[in-house]
């Protein structure tokens, strides 16, 4: 979907204003010119400046483009199916991850997506399982993010 730049500009301006309102509550550090609010405040002002430019651009283009325009993918049955399958996979993970674990849920989700994307049948399961183990290793070992084990005992 394509949204008019005015809408994106208003959203970014709201985020910038919210950041400015929040950094006002940050404490000042005695004896220093710049405190913890300097960098986030600068970024918020830059965001507001970009938002103004988007709003001006959207105002100029408002007659040529509608406020909201449906993307071509909304007219494609296969792309709608893939989108719905992705959302369903995320809901499945949220509901089942604690009981089944990351390795099982991740493998099922990837296998379903590979099937939907018409990957050769012989490759679906091996790629899904290996990819899930690699992702798990990156998050669990490398980034130290605790992922649910569920049905699978701690293997490593």
- Sequence-distant (6+) residues with CB within 8 A of 20 are 41, 44, 45, 48
Q: Are 60 and 102 contained in the same domain?
A: no
Q: What is the pTM of this model?
A: 0.61
Residues 111 and 125 sit within 8 Å (Cβ to Cβ): yes
Tens digit of pLDDT for each residue in 72-125?
A: 888 899 999 999 999 999 999 999 999 999 999 999 999 999 999 999 999 999
47 in any annotated domain: yes
Of 142 and 19, which is predicted with more confidence? Answer: 19
Q: How many independent structural domains does the chain possess?
A: 2
Q: Are 83 and 61 contained in the same domain?
A: no
Residue 83 sits in which domain range? Answer: 74-142
Q: Are 89 and 122 contained in the same domain?
A: yes
Q: Are 51 and 78 contained in the same domain?
A: no
The 3-class secondary structure across 90-127, one letter per residue, is: HHHHHHHHHHHCHHHHHHHHHHHHHHHCCCCHHHHHHH
Q: Are 98 and 84 contained in the same domain?
A: yes
């Amino acid at each position: 979907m394509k949204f008019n730049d005015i809408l994106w500009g208003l959203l970014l301006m709201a985020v910038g204003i919210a950041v400015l309102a929040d950094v006002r509550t940050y404490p000042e550090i005695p004896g220093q010119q710049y405190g913890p609010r300097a960098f986030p405040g600068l970024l918020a002002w830059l965001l507001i400046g970009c938002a103004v430019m988007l709003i001006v651009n959207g105002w100029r283009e408002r007659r040529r483009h509608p406020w909201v325009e449906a993307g071509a993918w909304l007219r494609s049955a296969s792309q709608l199916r893939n989108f719905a399958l992705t959302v369903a996979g995320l809901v499945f993970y949220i509901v089942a991850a604690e009981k089944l674990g990351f390795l099982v849920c991740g493998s099922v989700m990837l296998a379903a997506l590979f099937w939907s994307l018409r990957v050769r049948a012989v490759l679906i399961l091996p790629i899904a399982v290996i990819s899930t183990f690699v992702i798990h290793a990156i998050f669990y070992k490398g980034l130290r993010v605790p992922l649910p084990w569920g049905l699978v005992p701690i293997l490593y």
